[in-house]
Structure 1
Amino acid sequence: MDLVKKKVKFSPIGYTRYLKGLKKCHSMFREGRILEKLAVKSWQIAPEKTTIAPKAYFLENQLERITGTAFTDDPHAAMHGGFTVEHAPTFAYKLKDIWMINGFLYKGLYNFRLHPSFQLSKKMNYFPPAIIDTEIDNASIYSTSEGNQYFGLWLTDDCANYALANQEGVPVTSNIIPYSHMLEYESYLEMNPFRTNAAYLKNAIFFDDNWGNNDNKHLRFEANRNKILSLFPGTSHPGVFILRRNSGISRVMLNELEIAEKLREKCGFKIVDVTQNTAAEILSACAGAKILIGIEGSHLFHGLMALEAGSSVLILQPPNRFSAVIKNTTDMENINYSFVVGIQKGDNFYIDFEEVERTIDLLSF
C-alpha cells in the first residue's frame, strides 16, 4: 500500500473555474470517454454482459396510476421486461497530476465533482485552498457524485468499487460523510479510505462501468453481502418493512406506519425505522427475510445488502414519482421485484392494504 505523504505544494488550480477556458464540470464518474482522453493508460477489468430484463410482479391497472417518474423513462416497458439489457464493461483509467480540492478533482481544464453542490462548502468554492499539504503517489478514486447523493448507489456502486480501488493504491475519497450509517457500513465491509479535501495525487486510478451490472460487479456486490451476512446471520422469516419517515427526498405516504403494523399483525413482519435504528439493527431484522417492503427509496438498500437470491421486494411507489432504479439491483441479484402504486391525496399518497396482500400472494411460489 502506498503511503500518504505530508508535503506542502502550491497550486491555484482551484481557481481555474473562474478562467474562460475551463471546461464543463462533470459528475464522477460515468465519463469513460473523457477519462480515456485524459488517461496515460487504460485497461478493461471486466467484459460486457447481455441479459433479458425479467417481468415485475404487479396487479392489473397499477401502471395506469403513474403520473410522474424519476430516473425511469418508460415504466411500462421497465416493468413488463422481456427486452435485452447491454451491461457495459468495467474499465480502469490511470491519470497523472490530479488535484483534489473541496469535493472536486482537477485535471488540466477538466474538473469532476465528487459531491453534489449542496454538500460542498460554498466558501471554499469561492476561496479554494492553494496550499496542499498531502501528496499521494498512487491513489484510487472509488466514490462517485451519484453515490454521495443517493445512499443506495453508494452501497451498490461505490462500496463495490472499493474492492477495485483497494487493489490499485490508496482508496481516496473526500472527507464529507453524507450518511448517518456510512461509518457502520465501512466497518462491516472492511473499508478504510483516506479522506481529504486538499491533496495532490501524483497518479490516480479511476473506474467506470457506465452503470453496467456485469458479472464482475455482481461478484463484488455478492462479496459485500456475504460479509454482511457473516456478521448478521438470520433464520428465515416472513418479511421486514423498513420505515422511511421523512428521510431523503420527500415522498410522504400517509398510512406508512399503518401498513407496516398490519403486516406485522397479519403476516409476522418485522419493522425497522431508518431514521431511528442503527445499521446493525436494520441488517439484523432484514437477514433471513423472504420479502422486503417499503416506500421506494435508497433506504431499502439496507435490505438488499442482506436478501438472498430468490427472495422478493415489494416497492410502494408514489404515483407522481415512480422509479425503477431498485430493479437494476434486484435483477442483478435474482431477487423478485414487485410493486404497488399508491393513490394520490394532495401532495402525498396512500397505499391500499388489500392490494399489498394480493401482490404478496403473487410472490407466494
Structure 2
Amino acid sequence: MGTDISRFASSSALRRDRWTLAAYREVLRKRLGQQPGLELKSLAERSWDIAPGGSTVSPAAVFLPGQMERVTGWQEKEFFPYVHPGPTMQGGLTVTHGPTRGYLLKDVWLIDGALYKGKASQWLSLRQVSVPSVRVEHEVERAAIYCTHNGNSWFGTWLMEDCPTYALACNEGVPVTIAPSARYPLFTQAPAYEAWLGMQPLRLRTAFFRELVVFDDMSNNFSRYQRFRDMGHKLLAHVAHVPHPGVFILRGGDGELRMLRNELEVAEHLRKVHGFKVVNPLKMQVPDIVAACAGARVVMGVEGSQLVHGVNVLQPGGVVFTLQPPNRFVSYYKFLTDRDGQHFAFVVGSPEGEGFTISIDEVERTLDMLPG
C-alpha cells in the first residue's frame, strides 16, 4: 500500500523552515495554572463519518470454575476499562461500537511528538522533551496522522490499532507518524511488518501542516475489523501455511514484567502433547514468526503484546488463550476476539515470588472445553 506523496504536496513544500512558539505557549499556560486546553478535534473545519457504528452482544469466554476468584488486580491504562473483568468474561453484554470519524484541521504544528493549534494540543508520543523545538523544518500541504500515544508506547497497540488506521490515512493525505528518537527508538520488528503490509509513512518530529486529517478509530466496528483482516491476508500472502493445532508465543522478560516462572515447561508440554509450535519473538525474525503462527487454531501465551504476532493471522473460529497473572488481568484480547468471530480462553495463575505459575492440568482442562 504505497502512498503517492505528490498527490498532496509538492516536493519543494516538504522542506521549508518555519519558527513557532506553540509548544512554549502550552508550557506557559500549564505553569500559570490556566484552564485545560481545548481538544484538538474541537477546532476542526469539518468532520464526517467514515464508517458506521453498531452494537453486538458479547459471547462468554472459555474458563474453568473458580478462575475469577484468583484475580487480585486488573490493568489501569487509558485504553483498558478499569473495572473487574468478571462481567466481560461472563459475556451477554450489549456493546455499542461508535462510528469511525475523520476531522479536517488547518494550520497545525507538530512539535516533538505533540500537535498544536491555537489553544488545543494532543500528544502522540511520550513526553520526552524538556526544551521544545522552535524550528520546524518540514511543511506538508495535506497530511493524515494515523499514530496514537498508546501505539507509540506499546508494540502490540501499534500493530493492532495504529496500523489498521494507516489505510484510512492513505485516503486522506500523506500518512504521517512520529519519527523515533534515541530514547524511544522504532519498535525492532516494525520495519519488517511495514514492508509486508506495504506501509510507507512519512516520519517527522517537527512539521507545519496546512491541512491535517485526524481520526476517531477506536471503536471495534465492522470497518476496523475488515481493515485488520486485510492486514492478516497481506501477511499470510508472504508465507506457505496449513492448519495446525496451535502456537505458544513466549514472553520471557520483555516489556512490562509478567514473569511466568514455568513458561518453558508449559510451552514444551504443549509442543510434545498437542503439536504446538513454540515461537520466541525476541530471537526470531518476522518472516519466521508469521510462518509459524499462520494456520494456528490456538494462539497461546502470557497476556501481552507478543501475542499480536499470532492474533494478526488467526482466522475466524480460532482461539486466543491467555495465561493471566492474578495481579494484572487484562481483557484487551477478549474485545478483539469478540469483534473478529473468534473465541477467548484463559487460565489465571497462582502467585509465586515476583511472578506466577500456571497449572498445566488447568490448561489441559480448558483446552478440552474449546468449541470444535
Q: State the match for 1:104 in structure 2.
A: 114
Q: In the aligned structure 2, how far is the partner of 1:198 from the partner of 1:357?
A: 52
1:74 aligned counterpart, secondary structure: coil
Spell out, residue by residue over 1:332-353, the C-alpha distance to the aligned partner (whole angstroms, 9 max, x if none).
1111100000011122100000
1:206 aligned counterpart, secondary structure: strand
Query: TM-score scaled by structure 2?
Result: 0.91
Aligned counterpart for 2:47 among listed residues 22, 39, 42: 42
Aligned counterpart for 1:303 among listed residues 293, 305, 310: 310
Q: In the aligned structure 1, how far is the partner of 2:212 from the partner of 2:102?
A: 10
2:344 aligned counterpart, secondary structure: strand
Instruction: Report 1:1-365 matches (<5 A).
Output: 1-3=7-9, 5-20=14-29, 24=36, 34-70=39-75, 71-72=80-81, 73-117=83-127, 120=128, 125-176=129-180, 177-209=185-217, 211-365=218-372
1:67 aligned counterpart, secondary structure: coil
1:144 aligned counterpart, secondary structure: coil
Spell out, residue by residue over 1:42-96, the C-alpha distance to the aligned partner (whole angstroms, 9 max, x if none).
1110111100011000011011100000134121101001010000111100011
Q: State the match for 1:29 in structure 2.
A: none
Q: State the match for 1:30 in structure 2.
A: none
Q: In the aligned structure 1, how far is the partner of 2:52 from the partner of 2:356?
A: 42
Residue range with higher mean Cα deviation, 125-134 or 257-266: 125-134
Aligned length: 351
1:146 aligned counterpart, secondary structure: coil
Q: In the aligned structure 2, how far is the partner of 1:24 from the partner of 1:328?
A: 32
* Residue 364 (structure 1) shift: 4.8
Query: TM-score scaled by structure 1?
Result: 0.93
Give the letter for the 1:244 counterpart.
Answer: R
RMSD (CA atoms): 1.5
Identity %: 41
Q: In the aligned structure 2, how far is the partner of 1:104 from the partner of 1:342?
A: 39
Residue range with higher mean Cα deviation, 8-17 or 86-95: 8-17
Structure 1 unmatched ranges of 5 or more: 27-33
| Residues 25, 172 of structure 1: alpha-carbon distance in 2 compared, 3 angstrom cutoff | farther
1:35–1:93 contact (8 Å) kept in structure 2: no
Structure 2 unmatched ranges of 5 or more: 1-6
Give the letter for the 1:8 counterpart.
Answer: D
